[in-house]
A and B are shown apart, each in its own frame.
Chain A
Amino acid sequence: MNRQIIFITETIQNQMTQPVKELIGFGASLIPDHEYQSLLIVPGQDVAELAKQISSETGIHTLAIEHEDFKFPNPHLLGKILPTVIQKSMPSYICMNHNVRNCHLAATLAIRINAACITGVESFEIQNGYPVFTRMMFNGKLAAKTACKTEPIILTVIPGALSDSLIPNRKNGKGTIHVMKTDDLRSGYHPQKVYETIAKDNRLEEADVIVSAGMGIEKEENMELIRKTASIFTNAAIAGSRIVCDHGWLPYGCQVGETGKQVTPKLYVACGISGTIQHTAGMKKSNCIVAINKDPNAPIFSIADYGVVEDLKTFLPILIAKHDEQKN
């Protein structure tokens, strides 16, 4: 019997929030002999057209699930509706892109259908015919290998887990499209709207160099060191990790990461930043990354071009002084 994979996408006002092509490729590569059937679930308010479009682009079967409360992401309601859909096809895997709402959905489904659930999957390898998943732990410092004894397995997959070149070519044939209307279902979760919070401030986009502060700066006074370091460059801006902004040491407009800004300067200098995926999601595409951290095992070093293991409180003053010496 062919195995089944279910993919779930997310929409805001009938638009997908993240692409699904890579996700579909990830799922496909979980089944080495490629003998599988797949279904993409598209929840939304009015998404039959979108489902049709994805179907024709990828050749995958789609199921549009419509409800007025799906105008914006609604993991609670989806978690209520999906068990009946899923149990019909008994999938081996249920895959979605990794974000907090999909972790919520994954958790709800895991409880409802009694399935294993692994979030934040970065990669996998097949061992003895079974996949072993790699994901990060301890603020990104250690990688963990996890396996499941039973199916189905619910996965939230971090974008970038599979390079584009590994994505199998789409299957031939056209996918079917089904639409399920669920408006009569009630739940205690009613999304009202989605709004933007980040102030329009282009300083980070325009800077050649970003000097970024993490909790390694320890206290607000040390922000001065970051400012002084930025001032040795011709066109630099300062930024920070979320926690630095949470402390009010920098405005939120300066926060880099998954829930902040995505930046791609010529040079990103990470000072005392641990480098969890939530932060690196916002800066890993920078042209050149320099990491200064006193912990030689800090995960930021795994994406940096140049690493300096030093205490920034002593190192940055030396850097600034040496620059001033050279200039004079």
Chain B
Amino acid sequence: MKILVCIKQVFCSENELKIRPDGKWIQETDSTDFRMNRFDEYALEEALLIKETHTDATVDVISVGPERVKEVIKRGLSKGADNGIHICYHQSGYCPPQAVSRMIADYAESQSYNLILTGVMAEDDMQCLVGPMTAGLLSIPCAVSVIKEKIDIKNKIITVHCEMENGKVEEVLISMPAVLTIQTGINRPRYPSLSNILRANSKELTVVDGFFPEEPPDHHELLSIGYPVTSSRISMLEGSAEEKALQLLSIFHKKSLLK
């Protein structure tokens, strides 16, 4: 069984994000921190768990982006993925999911994967589209927000449990090959092992030239990004930590909520 995991490198969004002068993306500097998209960590772990039970399975990790995304591919290898594929796409800034999924589908098509996994959402653009768009391009089924799966390799059927809102779950049978987008909580992502880190450092990545589909009609344009206006109702407490604590206690006291 051949498994492909699509992983994305994202900005550490808890840090300060400086907006580029043209307003269209984040300003990157030498000290900008990146990490693997949290949801993709779970997708990769699920692939590695599948590999533990299906011993013939191989796990490839793929990422689209500039030179720096090699970092997350290496991280994937150091957790136990067999091969890393870098679709080298230099244009910095926002790359719409239509373009990313085309680049991934193009590569995946040539490799006949049985299963393609990715996170349910990317923390940066938050669109939940690359997984299902890749499935659409490959004309294979997709299941989103998967929290459990069982693979029947003989009959080429996967039983997936897809999370809905408010604690509801939908159980679905889908045929393979398929794309699954993985939700957090499905597993506990492992840390890289020392032997895998050493292997990852010496492992050659497959590098493929990325292409930006020439202005296909389905593209949207990101005009600008900016800090949203904060709610008018908020009051930010000022002063030292002690003073803020006292202000809070007085607010709680007025509401008669304290012991």
- 8 Å CB contact of B128 from A103, A136, A137, A147: A103
Q: By CB atoms of chain A within 10 A, which of B128, B136, B246, B259 has the most? A: B128
Contacts of A75 in B (CB 8 A): 132, 144
Q: By CB atoms of chain A within 10 A, which of B14, B185, B222 has the most? A: B14
CA distance A196 to B164 in the complex (A): 10
Give B167 Cβ to nearest chain A Cβ, in Å.
Answer: 3
Contact across chains for B236 and A104 when beta carbons are under 8 A apart: no
Given A107-B129, A119-B128, A260-B167, A302 and B220 contact (CB-CB distance below 8 Å): no
Instruction: Name the segment of B66-74, B79-87, B170-178 touching the other chain.
Output: B170-178
- 8 Å CB contact of A137 from B125, B145, B169: B125
CA distance A191 to B217 in the complex (A): 33
- 8 Å CB contact of B175 from A111, A147, A188, A245: A188
Closest-by-CB residue of B relative to A243 is B184
Is A222 located at the chain interface by the 8 A CB criterion? no
Contacts of A236 in B (CB 8 A): 257
Given A100-B128, A147-B221, A304 and B141 contact (CB-CB distance below 8 Å): no
Q: Which of B186-235 contact A (CB under 8 A)?
A: 188, 216-231, 233-235
CA distance A261 to B131 in the complex (A): 27
CA distance A212 to B89 in the complex (A): 41
Given A137-B126, A319-B245, A306 and B251 contact (CB-CB distance below 8 Å): yes
Contacts of B131 in A (CB 8 A): 107
CA distance A153 to B220 in the complex (A): 9
Contacts of A261 in B (CB 8 A): 167
**Contact count band on A:** 35 or more
Interface on chain A toward B: helix, strand, loop, or mixed SS?
Answer: mixed
Interface on chain B toward A: helix, strand, loop, or mixed SS?
Answer: mixed
Contact across chains for A103 and B235 when beta carbons are under 8 A apart: no
- 8 Å CB contact of A116 from B218, B257, B259: B218
Contact across chains for A149 and B219 when beta carbons are under 8 A apart: yes
Contacts of A17 in B (CB 8 A): 164-165
Closest-by-CB residue of A relative to B132 is A107
Contact across chains for A141 and B218 when beta carbons are under 8 A apart: no
Contacts of B236 in A (CB 8 A): 301, 306-309
- 8 Å CB contact of A304 from B133, B175, B225, B231: B231
Give B18 Cβ to nearest chain A Cβ, in Å.
Answer: 11
Is A108 located at the chain interface by the 8 A CB criterion? yes
- 8 Å CB contact of A306 from B38, B178, B246, B248: B248
The contact sample of 17 A-B pairs, CB cut-off 8 A, is: A75-B144, A137-B124, A137-B126, A138-B17, A141-B17, A146-B223, A188-B174, A189-B172, A190-B173, A192-B171, A197-B168, A198-B166, A234-B258, A236-B257, A302-B228, A307-B236, A308-B248
CA distance A79 to B126 in the complex (A): 21
Given A103-B127, A302-B228, A306-B234, A322 and B136 contact (CB-CB distance below 8 Å): no
CA distance A194 to B167 in the complex (A): 10
Contact across chains for A100 and B258 when beta carbons are under 8 A apart: no
Contact across chains for A79 and B136 when beta carbons are under 8 A apart: yes
Give B148 Cβ to nearest chain A Cβ, in Å.
Answer: 11
Contact across chains for A303 and B231 when beta carbons are under 8 A apart: yes
Closest-by-CB residue of B relative to A294 is B14
Is A67 located at the chain interface by the 8 A CB criterion? no
Contact across chains for A108 and B132 when beta carbons are under 8 A apart: yes
Instruction: Name the segment of A1-9, A40-48, A310-318 touching the other chain.
Output: A310-318
- 8 Å CB contact of B141 from A189, A233, A288, A322: A189
Contact across chains for A189 and B143 when beta carbons are under 8 A apart: yes
Binding site for B on A (CB under 8 A): 17, 72-73, 75-76, 79, 99-101, 103-104, 106-108, 110-112, 114-120, 132, 135-150, 153, 187-198, 208-209, 231-236, 242-243, 245-248, 252, 258-262, 266-267, 274, 276, 288, 290, 295, 297-299, 301-310, 314-315, 318-319, 322-323, 326-327
Contact across chains for A267 and B226 when beta carbons are under 8 A apart: no
Is B112 located at the chain interface by the 8 A CB criterion? no
- 8 Å CB contact of A196 from B145, B159, B168, B175: B168
Contacts of B163 in A (CB 8 A): 100, 259
Contacts of B246 in A (CB 8 A): 322
Contact across chains for B126 and A142 when beta carbons are under 8 A apart: no
Q: By CB atoms of chain B within 10 A, which of A137, A208, A242, A319 has the most? A: A137
- 8 Å CB contact of B120 from A100, A288, A306: A100
Contact across chains for B126 and A136 when beta carbons are under 8 A apart: yes
- 8 Å CB contact of B165 from A235, A258, A303: A258
Give B99 Cβ to nearest chain A Cβ, in Å.
Answer: 12
Closest 3 CB pairs of A and B: A198-B167, A111-B136, A188-B175
Given contact pairs A107-B132, A322-B246, a sample of 4 additional A-B residue pairs in the complex whose CB atoms are under 8 Å apart: A104-B128, A153-B220, A196-B168, A327-B259
Contact across chains for A76 and B129 when beta carbons are under 8 A apart: no
